[in-house]
Amino acid sequence: MNKQSVSLHPYAGMWVTADGHIRHELLPNGRYDEARGSVQSAYVGSYVITGHHIDYVDDTGFTADGEFREDVLYHAGMILYRERPE
């Protein structure tokens, strides 16, 4: 499977839990920035998307992964929805 270009990847953007507590931004440069509640940049690191699978490595070395299904991101027991501009 070929790794898709992140800069043009359709999954780049903001992903948010239904309650808005977790805000997970997939930046077009292959980095992510996750806010939790009032804590901005609680987790930051890099990511790679292969097909519908995403692998994360935060800047401390912790790894995680997730899966995109029908425009929903399932990641580490969380369900995140794409934030759409109003």
pLDDT, tens digit, 9 for 90 and up, residues 25-73: 999 999 999 999 999 999 999 999 999 999 999 999 999 999 999 999 9
Reported CATH class of domain 13-82: mainly beta
Q: End-to-end alpha-carbon separation of the chain, Å?
A: 35
- In angstroms, the CA 55 to CA 16 distance is 18
* C-alpha distances out from residue 68 to 1, 42, 58, 59, 77, Å: 16, 22, 19, 23, 13
Residue ranges of domains in the chain = 13-82
DSSP H or E stretch at residue 44: strand 39-50
Confidence of residue 1 (pLDDT cuts 50, 70, 90): very low
Task: Tell me the three state secondary structure of residue 7.
Answer: coil
